[in-house]
Amino acid sequence: MTGSWTSMRARGRAWLIFVWAAVVITSFGLVLIINPGVDKQNQEITIKFFAPAHGFFAMLSGLRNGGGGGLGARAMERNPSTGCAVCVRGLLALPLVSYNRNKHLCDMRGHDFGYQFGYRMFYPGGDYPPMEKDAVLYGGTDPGRFVPTYMIFCESRVAPEDRYSDVYCDPEGGKKFDRRDVYIITQNALADNTYMSYIRDHYDYSRPCITNPVTLAKFEPWQQWVFRTGWTRLHRDTMYPKEPIWIPTEQDLQKAFQEYVTGLRGRQAGPEEQVDIDASGRVSVRGVGGVMAINGILTRWIFEHARDKHAFYVEESYVIPWMYPYLTPAGIIMKINHDAVARS
């Protein structure tokens, strides 16, 4: 891939076309889809979505440096001067400029806020006791569900001696963090059938288990073989809480929808409840308020089924009104108590 376009080999041209097309699609395409703002806050929020564009741009920069180096090498063959050699070596060192400009943005050494945020959900410290064993945690915001998910499924598998003790302020003084007993559920997605299927496969009584052949009957034979093969190799046997809990089925989701529509007939829809009723009487819910109302019904049902055996916590985003009487502070999140709390 050296020299001009006409002197390139077919493989070099193909790579260059692919990378340019990828840069355009993953950058300008995402700009059209996301339409991000130019303020600092929007930049911080949307930068992660442009990671593929940054990757392809880095590849394009590498091709540029490689092509430039090839031209320089040819020039040195024709004119082996000291100046030409310095220029070629300067091209090889050009990536150091980008490295120095961006290092401070990428270097997270000593920045343990994310780790502390996740850790303090389970061990808030101060006068707050640790989260009870086998608790159910509702995570509402993106960091409120993704960070504890990482803590449960990833950090719980890291041995104390393998952790970055010089980077993270380990609140437990080097003790192993293991909270695979916690059920992590996002309350904002319970009205989605795909997410509910995913959660049922994690925690419901119907979740796949090689010791219960009935739970594998819905899978194809080859899928059952893959599942049995990965049961211990992929740690499926130890990754999730031992005891299942009740998770709503698709039929329960329909019942929650009907309960919401029935309740809506007796009151005025809120500003964020976009509910449409066509000529045949079919009801569709599109607004955030309506979807969250259905999510609220489902979270309440899970709570009512499991509160006698499990503690409940919530990292809140959209408000779920039924929780108010049950909530008390638990560090950076809230605890949903078994019974309504008396207020003074």
| CA 179 to each of CA 33, 84, 133, 203, 209: distance values in angstroms, whole numbers, following the listed order | 38, 60, 8, 15, 21
Q: What is the pLDDT of residues 124-148, one digit of tens each?
A: 988 999 999 999 999 999 899 999 9
- 276/120 Cα distance (integer angstroms): 42
Residue 123 identity (one-letter amino acid) = Y
Q: What is the pLDDT of residues 6-49, one digit of tens each?
A: 777 888 788 888 888 888 888 887 778 777 777 777 777 777 77
- 290/313 Cα distance (integer angstroms): 23
Residue ranges per structural domain of the chain: 10-106, 113-239, 250-336
Averaged pLDDT score across all residues of the chain: 84
Residue 203 banded pLDDT, cuts 50, 70, 90: very high
Output the CA torsion sign for 330, 335, 338, 341: positive
Residue 168 banded pLDDT, cuts 50, 70, 90: very low
Q: What is the pLDDT of residues 150-164, one digit of tens each?
A: 999 998 887 766 555
How many CA atoms does the CB half-sphere of 226 hold within 13 Å? 5
